[in-house]
């Protein structure tokens, strides 16, 4: 038994040395520009620093994800990643610039952009608790949504039935993403941008804290995972994730710093998963479907 375990560890170690995760691309466009600004509190707007997501807005479903056991991450890794990100102060010059950026989007967004953001991209999302019972009213949509980025980039044939190992890998990755999303959100309790800026007219009112963006965390961890399976499509997957993140700004429900933090956090999560033999086994099986 001990020899078998040692052999398994040696095989996994050899595989880890023979392949490596793609590096994280640098921030770009307005995400890069805005993060150059002062993120510390500004005394002239100190009242804004008192605003946060309020306890009476907590939702039990989202809170329940904090109690779940991760698929690939350890609880220690979740804790470490939770403390690796922070948002600029509400009163900071950076946040003020981000609010102005969102107001500019509000003034220029077209009906087509609003429809794409709120009716096409916003409803997409995989929720592990809906996988427990196949007769759940949203079970089939949930399964289909998990393969959304694959279909968008690779075509309609990208389904759970056609690629079961890929589906299994994405299930584990996205379960951990939901755990991380709400662990960070309820740790930091950032108020939504329309709470700080009353001129904003969001296309939706959200029931969870703003930071980091869950939709963007989902978009990028999926994009990073897909691009390990189909490396020559990495640019297309990242472009799609960028669009999904930007759609939250078009809707007026997330600050740009919510999106950029989610992108960085997604890569940090995948980096942490990389040394997990179970993750590597599922990744190897999924890769076998794309050779």
Query: pLDDT tens across 140-186, in order?
Result: 999 999 999 999 999 999 999 999 999 999 999 999 999 999 999 99
DSSP code of residue 150: H
- CA 233, CA 225: separation in Å to the nearest integer? 11
Determine how many CB atoms are found less than 10 A away from the CB of residue 160.
16
Determine how many CB atoms are found less than 10 A away from the CB of residue 11.
12
Q: Mind giving me the DSSP string for 238-283?
A: HHHHHHHHHHHHHTT-S-HHHHHHHHHHHHHHHHHHTT-HHHHHHH
- CA 237, CA 170: separation in Å to the nearest integer? 14
Percent of the chain topping pLDDT 70: 93
Give pLDDT, residue 13: 47
- CA 96, CA 49: separation in Å to the nearest integer? 12
Average pLDDT over residues 14-22: 64
The region of weakest confidence among 19-28, 125-134, 201-210 is: 125-134
- CA 263, CA 64: separation in Å to the nearest integer? 23
State whether residue 32 is helix, strand or coil. Answer: helix
- CA 212, CA 220: separation in Å to the nearest integer? 12
The pTM assigned to this predicted structure is: 0.92
Q: Is the pLDDT at 225 greater than 80, yes or no?
A: yes
pLDDT tens string 230-278: 999 999 999 999 999 999 999 999 999 999 999 999 999 999 999 999 9
Q: Is the pLDDT at 192 greater than 80, yes or no?
A: yes
Contact in structure between 12 and 277 (CB atoms under 8 Å): yes
- CA 265, CA 144: separation in Å to the nearest integer? 25
Q: Is the pLDDT at 30 greater than 90, yes or no?
A: yes
Encoded tokens for 25 = 């691309």
Looking at every residue in the chain, the average pLDDT score rounds to 93
- CA 10, CA 4: separation in Å to the nearest integer? 10
Q: Mind giving me the DSSP string for 137-162?
A: TTHHHHHHHHTHHHHHHH-TT--TTT
Contact in structure between 172 and 72 (CB atoms under 8 Å): yes
Selected residue with higher pLDDT from 5 and 159: 159
Q: Is the pLDDT at 101 greater than 90, yes or no?
A: yes
Cis peptide leading into 257, omega within 30 of 0?
no
Q: Is the pLDDT at 14 greater than 90, yes or no?
A: no
- CA 86, CA 92: separation in Å to the nearest integer? 13
Q: Is the pLDDT at 8 greater than 70, yes or no?
A: no
Contact in structure between 265 and 84 (CB atoms under 8 Å): yes
Burial (Cβ within 10 Å: 0-12, 13-18, ≥19) of residue 281: middle
State whether residue 230 is helix, strand or coil. Answer: coil
């Amino acid at each position: 038994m001990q020899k078998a375990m040692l052999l398994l560890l040696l095989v996994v170690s050899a595989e880890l040395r023979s392949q490596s995760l793609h590096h994280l691309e640098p921030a770009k466009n307005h995400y890069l520009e805005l993060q150059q600004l002062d993120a510390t509190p500004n005394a002239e707007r100190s009242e804004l620093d008192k605003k946060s997501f309020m306890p009476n807005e907590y939702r039990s479903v989202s809170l329940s994800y904090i109690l779940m056991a991760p698929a690939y991450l350890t609880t220690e890794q979740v804790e470490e990643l939770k403390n690796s990100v922070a948002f600029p102060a509400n009163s900071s010059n950076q946040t003020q610039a981000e609010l102005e950026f969102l107001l500019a989007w509000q003034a220029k967004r077209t009906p087509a952009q609003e429809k794409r953001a709120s009716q096409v991209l916003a409803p997409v999302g995989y929720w592990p608790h809906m996988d427990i019972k196949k007769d759940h009213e949203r079970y089939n949509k949930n399964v289909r949504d998990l393969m959304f980025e694959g279909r968008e980039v690779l075509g309609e044939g990208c389904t759970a039935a056609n690629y079961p190992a890929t589906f299994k890998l994405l299930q584990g990755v996205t379960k951990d993403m939901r755990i991380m999303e709400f662990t960070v959100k309820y740790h930091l309790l950032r108020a939504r941008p329309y709470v700080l800026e009353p001129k904003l007219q969001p296309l939706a009112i959200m029931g969870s804290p703003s930071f980091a963006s869950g939709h963007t965390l989902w978009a990028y961890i999926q994009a990073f995972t897909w691009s390990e399976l189909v490396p020559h499509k990495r640019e297309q997957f990242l472009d799609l994730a960028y669009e999904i993140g930007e759609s939250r700004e078009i809707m007026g429900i997330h600050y740009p710093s919510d999106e950029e933090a989610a992108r960085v956090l997604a890569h940090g999560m995948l980096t942490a998963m990389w040394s997990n033999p179970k993750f590597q086994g599922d990744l190897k099986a999924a890769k076998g479907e794309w050779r």
